[in-house]
Structure 1
């Protein structure tokens, strides 16, 4: 977990989960065919204003 500051309230955001049924949110690079680059997503929420951020866990895959 990294420290994330809300862009609206300037307070520390809390890590949260997004329930997708399977419990995992996956970010995929749009590539034609069957070979796709994918990584997990960490979710953060501001307890004051409700702002939500998604952060790719392995952003290097998308270079």
Structure 2
């Protein structure tokens, strides 16, 4: 990258500001949770004929845990 000499300090300041903003927040941690508790086989044939979406499986009825939270 060819920077005109008078642009170099502004570019350096922008990089320092970006780094400061990237690392300024508190450390974040994620908690794992189970969205639904179901074990099932999902084959290529299931994916090819899945409705309404070929990339998502719909779990309904008896496959869902009856004791799951409702809210």
TM-score interval for Structure 1 and Structure 2 normalised by the shorter chain: under 0.3
Higher-helix-fraction structure = 2
Higher-strand-fraction structure = 1
Name the TM-score, length of structure 1 as normaliser: 0.21
Whose radius of gyration is greater, 1 or 2?
2
